[in-house]
Structure 1
Amino acid sequence: MSKLAGMAINERLFHVGIMEEFDAAISSCNQKEAVALLQRAEISREEAMVAVATIFENPGRYGYPKQ
């Protein structure tokens, strides 16, 4: 079993060391990069796409500036 199992998305991103890259991808509206980074954190493509779309729908809710 992976060390990332059971971790939240932010925890996974932090553990893998790509939190800042993910924040930059979201801030620049780079959906493809954001999904790829989530996949590096062992999140399935489908789940990553849903997560990124959800963040883009209401970025302020997740601590990002409104697009």
Structure 2
Amino acid sequence: MAPIPSYAFGTVTVTANGKVVTGTGAIWSEVNARAGDDISIGGNTVIINDATDETHLVIDAWP
């Protein structure tokens, strides 16, 4: 089985109970971040619902 690729570039901002992750220096697209992928920040992991543009991800409410 091939390893699952990982993308780690830039910084992100998300508030408690927030549903949008904003990236600075990140370049998200349907190639490196798409619905169904997960994002891990500070020990928390959530599923990405949508990558709306190169700097915004939609998620369920952040813990």
TM-score (norm 1): 0.31
Q: Relative to total residues, which structure has the larger strand share, 1 or 2?
A: 2
Q: Relative to total residues, which structure has the larger helix share, 1 or 2?
A: 1
Of the two structures, which has the highest relative contact order with CA contacts closer than 8 Å and spacing of 6 or more?
A: 2
